[in-house]
């Protein structure tokens, strides 16, 4: 599909704003403490590396993966320092599984929102197209993490973490809202269920509006808007030169599509790479889930491939964690976990 006019779609920007609003609602109701509490409950049974993998895999499909990284990374670094351990295996498990599982649903990460909005695929249809590849990648990553789990050692007594279950109830409400909208035919217009889900957050945060305002990450949202707008404009002018390279990827032709997303994501990050496909060639509803998985798994292949990676690396570097070691470990696990994206 060629671009005959500048493809500015305001609903994409509105959907992303509501998406960031949902993340802010989650954080304002003390989502930080809630996730640490879940992590503390799981760690004695499976060890900290796999506890991190489980928590990120379960929650990344429902809140912004960047939010999860911002919440968990400082806690993981603090945990490792408390026991005199290397935090790298924990952060690798976190990044790997948040990039994998955020690919599962249309609301797991920003690039999925773009694909959901532009392709008009239903929520259920999206998940039906992603779950096999996502679970296959997660299975491979689980095996690949065995050496890191052994390196980190067995379970320890984690720091106690108190907190209510309000954040869990809210995420369940968000999911029910999106699925109900899908059943009513409103899910094809993504900003409707996301807007309703955002407003429902005030049930939990009606007395905490000042905290909600602080938790809304306006800066990251504006940066994301800038990325999308820049790629939109660039694609408008460069489409005649990019078409022969982009169209096979946008059609999901394998293994070309997977390789294209892997390279593009590690050059310009996976959100702009996805927007490039949408603007230059268009992505159909039947292909959108496949592109989502490819872009999500590509996020594990390099430091700039996903914004979540950059956040984690920045926090790790400030805390004295070896970034070079962390990158080597993640690329090794990420390359194996990326294999399903080529099929």
291-305 pLDDT tens trace: 999 999 999 998 888
Q: Which of 53, 54, 94, 59 is nearest to 73 (CA)?
A: 94
The predicted pLDDT at position 187 comes to: 55
Domain interval for residue 333: 10-216+303-342
Q: Indicate the pTM of the whole model.
A: 0.83
Average pLDDT over residues 162-190: 80
Question: What DSSP assignment string belongs to 60-72?
Answer: TTTS-HHHHHHHH
- Residues in contact with 41: Cβ distance below 8 Å, sequence separation at least 6, in sequence order: none
- pLDDT at residue number 25: 92
Share of the chain above pLDDT 70, in %: 93
Structure tokens at 142: 């689980």
Say how far apart CA 11 and CA 258 lie, in whole Å: 27
What number of other Cβ atoms are within 10 A of residue 41's Cβ? Answer: 13
Flag whether 45 is in a domain: yes
Residue 249 falls inside a structural domain: no
> What tokens were used for 10?
């305001």
> For residue 164, is it within any domain?
yes
With beta carbons less than 8 A apart as the criterion, state whether 55 and 35 touch: yes
Mean pLDDT of 112-118: 89
Residue keyed to tokens 């797991």: 108
Indicate whether 15 belongs to any domain.
Answer: yes
The answer to whether residue 252 is domain-embedded is: no
* Letter string b/e over residues 177-204, b meaning 16 or more CB atoms within 10 A of that residue's CB: bbbebbeeebbbebbbbbbbbbebbeeb
What are the Cα distances from residue 121, in Å, to 215, 248, 280?
A: 30, 20, 19
> Cα–Cα distance between 41 and 36 in angstroms, integer?
9
Task: Characterize 5-21 residue by residue with b for buried, 16 or more Cβ atoms within 10 angstroms of its Cβ, and e for exposed.
Answer: eebeeeebbbbbbbbbb
> Residue 120 and residue 116: Cα distance in Å, rounded?
6
Tens digits of per-residue pLDDT, 216-260?
Answer: 988 888 887 887 788 778 777 777 788 889 999 999 999 999 999
Q: Which residues contact 328 (CB under 8 A, 6 or more apart)?
A: none
Position with higher pLDDT, 136 vs 232:
136
Residue with tokens 């408008």: 236
pLDDT, tens only, 2-46: 333 445 677 778 888 898 898 889 889 988 888 888 888 888 889
> Above 60 in pLDDT, residue 142?
yes
Read off the tokens for 42.
Answer: 């799981």
Rg (CA), the chain: 19
The number of domains in the chain is 1
The pLDDT, as a whole number, for residue 1 is 39
Mean pLDDT (whole number) for 189-210: 87
* Structure token digits, residue 302: 């390099």
């Amino acid at each position: 599909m060629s671009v005959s006019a500048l493809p500015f779609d305001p609903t994409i920007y509105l959907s992303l704003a509501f998406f960031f609003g949902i993340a802010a609602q989650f954080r304002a109701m003390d989502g930080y403490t809630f996730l640490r509490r879940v992590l503390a409950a799981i760690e004695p049974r499976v060890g900290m590396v796999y506890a991190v993998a489980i928590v990120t895999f379960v929650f990344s499909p429902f809140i912004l993966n960047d939010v999860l990284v911002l919440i968990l990374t400082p806690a993981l670094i603090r945990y490792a320092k408390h026991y005199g351990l290397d935090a790298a295996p924990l952060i690798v498990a976190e990044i790997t599984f948040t990039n994998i599982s955020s690919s599962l649903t249309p609301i797991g990460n920003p690039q999925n929102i773009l694909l959901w909005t532009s392709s008009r695929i239903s929520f259920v249809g999206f998940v039906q197209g992603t779950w096999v590849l996502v679970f296959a990648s997660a299975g491979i990553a689980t095996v690949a993490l065995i050496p890191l789990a052994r390196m980190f050692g067995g379970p320890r007594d984690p720091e106690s973490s108190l907190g209510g279950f309000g954040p869990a109830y809210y995420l369940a409400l968000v999911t029910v809202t999106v699925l109900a909208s899908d059943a009513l035919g409103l899910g094809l217009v993504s900003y409707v269920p996301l807007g309703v889900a955002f407003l429902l957050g005030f049930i939990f945060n009606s007395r905490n509006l000042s905290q909600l305002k602080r938790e809304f990450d306006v800066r990251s949202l504006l940066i994301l808007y800038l990325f999308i707008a820049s790629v939109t404009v660039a694609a408008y002018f460069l489409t005649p030169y990019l078409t022969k390279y982009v169209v096979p990827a946008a059609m999901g032709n394998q293994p070309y599509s997977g390789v294209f997303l892997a390279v593009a994501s590690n050059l310009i990050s996976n959100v702009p790479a996805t927007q490039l496909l949408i603007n230059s060639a268009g992505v159909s509803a039947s292909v959108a889930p496949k592109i989502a998985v490819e872009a999500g798994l590509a996020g594990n292949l390099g430091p700039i491939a996903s914004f979540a990676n950059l956040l984690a690396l920045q926090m790790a570097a400030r805390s004295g964690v070896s970034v070079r070691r962390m990158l080597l470990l993640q690329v090794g696990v990420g390359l194996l976990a990326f294999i399903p994206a080529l099929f």
